[in-house]
Amino acid sequence: MGTYINPGNQAFRRIAGADYVDKTGLINLINQRIGGAESLVCVSRPRRFGKSYAAQMLSAYYDCSCDSHSLFDKRIISRTKYYSKHLNQYNVIYLATTAFISSARRRGIPLKEVPNMIVDALYEDILRENPDLCRELSLTDLLIQYVQKPEGKPFVFIIDEWDALIREAKNDDTAQERYLDLLREWFKNGTFTPKVVAAAYMTGILPIKRDGSQSAISDFREFSMLHPGEYAKYIGFSEAEVKRLCRKNKMDFDQVKAWYDGYDFSQGQPVYNPYSVMNSCKEKTCRSFWGKTSAAEALTDYINMNFDGLQETVVRLIGGEEIPANTSTFQNDFERFKTKDDILTLLVHLGYLAFDSAHNTVHIPNEEVRNEFRNFLNNDRAGEHWVKLLGRSRKLLTDISSGNEDSVALTLDEIRHEQYAPQFYNNEPALRAVIKYAFIAAFGQYVKIEEMPGGKGIADVAFIPAPLTKLPAMVVELKWDKTAGGAIAQIKDKHYTSALTPFSGNIMLVGINYDTKSGQHSCKIERV
């Protein structure tokens, strides 16, 4: 048992306690590929989505230096066809790339030396346990010799955070190329790979870096947040798993769903952020657990690039819109951005946006992530552009409170001309999109409820003020080629305000109409 070669099963044993959500079905997907043409797999997902747990689980299962029956005999994997055939039957190389990067920085070693550090570590691990092997061989030849011993077994390579060096050395081409060359030497080598590699599982935030239009290590099958395929159910927690956790921890499932769900894939199965769900259950509360991570800090930098009006697009996303995105041009790295779509695609991989592959659109998945975008809006680094956007939205709220109907209508006209093409602006849902954009400053001060049941019908939009504020509640009714006055009449006739009795005496009725002939909005405001 070594440090990097056959590290044992202690790491997984530590996490496989009573609260472990059984994801061992993932092992079966790898078992079905072992020794075949598609035995090299790269699964990418955001931070805090259980990448290291999955890697430690696979290492414990395949490692031939230990007995892991007690860890897996009662798990889902034990009920599959190839469970016993592959359990503890392989040599394992387990690499956590971030550990080598941290060691290099602590010792003042350039990141371009990290690939050599990895090779040296594996070399020493082999020779420590096998001093009879030839010390003059290259690492690849040494591994071939290791496998060809009478008791030799092929290797399962498990690389956790494979892309850490690509991310951390984003401006160091030498470091990146040396690292990719090492991976090619292992996994794209007609002499070495078939003899030594039974399977490889790499996990990271980004898919494999592109070399032009192709993957830099083209033999890998890739499964990402864009196209997770059969690995979708292992990216995060399923709805059934979250319901069980909520029952066990006496949590309100609907609240947990609003905060942490939203990464739905084409199979229609909701996927929850596992790190946040577990912390929510431990603390018995729902809040953002993203915290001050490097990804959270980087969000400001990416959005402030403002490619092709990215900042206005982010406002529309915060407002709840689905935005079309072309994900095909993204180069799977952190330095080559050419368009707004490249940034949006990166935000999908980072977990800040969810991707709808059926419609090629992106959206903010849940309340936790929306909270991170709100934090961005209040960030001192957000810049003058954001100050202007928020200033206009705050003025809109002030104009409504003071009953300044003409100013509200003028602001909506400005937003419509600036942000929405004429061919898009052709019905009431388009008007609703403008309202979402215009009321961006309401986030944090109000809870927005679209299609709020009340009285004899459903109000288009209601804004409920945050507790302990003196802000008015607002009911907004939208019309298309009718009248703003008619919108106010509908609110009254159908008693939409009956759902807002706690705010009686402090409710604003807002009627908004768009006239296609004049190309202008009109507004009527009444306080009840």
Q: What is the rounded (10 degree) CA torsion for 415, 421, 424, 428?
A: 20
CATH number for position 493: 3.40.1350
Top mean pLDDT of 71-80, 202-211, 212-221, 383-392 is at: 71-80
Confidence at 389, pLDDT banded by 50, 70, 90: confident
pLDDT tens per residue across span 439-468: 877 776 888 888 888 888 898 899 898 877
Is the confidence at residue 171, as pLDDT, over 60?
A: yes
State the virtual CA torsion across 20, 24, 25, 31 in degrees, nearest 10.
170
Q: Residue 377: inside a domain, yes or no?
A: yes
Q: In Å, how far are 146, 155, 328 from 112, measured between CA atoms?
A: 28, 26, 29
Distance of alpha carbon 198 from its chain centroid, rounded? 30
Q: Is residue 289 part of a domain?
A: no
Judgement on whether residues 315 and 276 belong to the same structural domain of the protein? no
Give the Cα separation of 457 and 106 in Å (integer): 64
Q: Are residues 276 and 322 in the same domain?
A: no
Looking at the structure, tell me whether residues 62 and 185 fall in a common domain. yes
Query: Are residue 245 and residue 101 in the same domain, yes or no?
Result: no
Domain assignment of residue 248, yes or no: yes
Instruction: Look at residue 72 and tell me if it is in a domain.
Output: yes
The answer to the question of residue 68 being in a domain is yes
Same domain flag for 71 and 216: yes
**Domain end call among 364, 382, 400:** 382
Phi, psi of 472 (to 5 degrees): -75, 150
Please check the confidence at residue 424 and state whether its pLDDT lies above 90: no
Mean pLDDT value across residues 189-215: 82
Whether the predicted pLDDT of 302 surpasses 80: no
Same domain, residue pair 51 and 198: yes
> Are 376 and 506 within one domain?
no
Q: Is residue 327 part of a domain?
A: yes
Of all residues in the chain, the percent with pLDDT exceeding 90 is 50
Query: 283, 315, 335 — which closes off a domain?
Result: 283
pLDDT per position as a tens digit, 492-507: 999 999 988 888 888 9
- Say yes or no: 78 and 199 in one domain: yes
Residue 457 CB partners (closer than 8 Å, separation 6+): 490, 494, 496
Range of the domain at 302: 294-382
| Number of domains observed in the structure of the chain | 4
Q: Which two tokens stand for residue 429?
A: 């849902």
Instruction: Flag whether pLDDT at 213 surpasses 50.
Output: no
pLDDT over threshold 90, residue 298: no
Query: Are 195 and 68 in the same domain?
Result: yes
Q: Report the pLDDT value the prediction gives residue 136, as an integer from 0 to 100.
A: 81
Q: Tell me if 469 sits within 8 A of 445, measured CB to CB.
A: yes
> What pLDDT shows up at residue 135?
72
Same domain, 133 and 209: yes
Is residue 208 located within the same domain as residue 248? Answer: no
* 49, part of any domain: yes
Q: Tell me, yes or no, whether 269 and 316 share the same domain.
A: no
The one-letter code for the residue type at 445 is Q
pLDDT in tens, 128-158: 888 877 778 889 999 998 898 888 899 999 9
Residues 29-56: what's their mean pLDDT? 92
Mean pLDDT of the region 263-287: 86
